[in-house]
Amino acid sequence: MRSLLGKIGTQDVEDVHHFVQLALENETVKLDRTRIALFGGSHGGFITAHLLGQKPDFYVAGAMRNPVIDVAAMLATTDIPDWTASESGLSVLDPLIPTSEIYQKLYDVSPIKHVQGSTCILPLSLIYFSAAIKAPVLLLLGEEDKRVPPSQGLLLANCIRHLSPKVNLYPGEGHALGGIETETDVYLSTVEFFDRVFKK
């Protein structure tokens, strides 16, 4: 865990991808390389978004619970700004005055860097990002989440709106999405989402 500080978005993402590849190489378990999907929440959602953006031809779908998408934007909106600092390699002892250098460092470790691609076109009043993500996406967001505000997931949905991502916004729910009805809906929605993806 200590080795991850300052290396989020690279070390954790490559670790997960490496273990997926090891699982695919395992001769005792036959896995279909064309049907590899991702599911993660919070930091797991952060890794999921990274993998969808960094390896768009490998993963075919992703479901995310309250994912971290833009660490720079989280600095001023989360109840754990020290997480954004320490995980990104900044000192939590220094006052987190948002300089352009700090914002750049936080952006550089964020999935949004890989999600947006390189093109931004502004025809009339429409903004379109050439997103690296190609896969279908399901976002499961707590409307009252103070840890990873729903604006994080909504930012991703906006950037990939040409893919028509599915967004479930749960009123009154926080980061855990832990209400009985909500948790039931989260898992049923996820199963239905992957079922639709794999039936195509």
The catalytic residue among 42, 86, 151, 189 is 42
**Per DSSP, what are the bridge partners of residue 123?**
none
pLDDT at 120: 44
Among 104, 153, 157, residue whose Cα is nearest residue 131: 157
User: What Å distances lie between residue 167 and 71, 95, 182, CA to CA?
Assistant: 20, 35, 14
Q: What pLDDT sits at residue 115?
A: 80
Q: Is it the case that residue 69 has pLDDT exceeding 60?
A: yes
Question: What CA–CA distance (Å, rounded) separates 10 from 24?
Answer: 21
Confidence of residue 181 (pLDDT cuts 50, 70, 90): very high
Indicate if the pLDDT at residue 81 is higher than 80.
yes
- Our CA angle for 125, 129, 130, nearest 5°, is 140
Find the helix packing angle between 43-54 and 11-25, rounded to 10°. Answer: 70
Give just the sign of the alpha carbon dihedral 196, 197, 198, 200: positive
> Which pLDDT does position 29 carry in this prediction?
86
Q: Which is higher by pLDDT, 117 or 59?
A: 59
pLDDT, tens digit, 9 for 90 and up, residues 156-172:
999 999 899 999 999 99
- Range name among 32-36, 123-127, 170-174 with the lowest pLDDT average: 123-127
Q: Give the pLDDT band of residue 188 (cuts 50, 70, 90).
A: very high
- The pLDDT confidence band at residue 85, using thresholds 50, 70 and 90, is confident
Cα Rg, the chain, nearest whole Å = 17
pLDDT digits (tens, 9 = 90+) for 94-126: 656 778 888 999 999 999 998 865 444 444 444
Name the residue ranges covered by the structural domains of the chain.
2-199
Confidence of residue 142 (pLDDT cuts 50, 70, 90): very high
Overall average pLDDT of the 145-153 stretch: 98
| Residue 185 appears among annotated catalytic residues | no
Q: Which amino acid is at 187?
A: Y
Tokens coding 118:
């390189």
Specify whether 145 is catalytic: yes
From 1.10.10.60, 3.30.590.20, 2.60.40.10, 3.40.50.1820, which CATH number describes the 2-199 domain? 3.40.50.1820
Selected catalytic residue, list 50, 70, 110, 175: 175
Rounded to whole angstroms, what are the CA distances from 9 to 15, 59, 106? Answer: 10, 17, 10
pTM for the whole thing?
A: 0.90
Tell me whether residue 175 is one of the annotated catalytic residues. yes
Exactly one of 17, 50, 145, 189 is catalytic; name it: 145
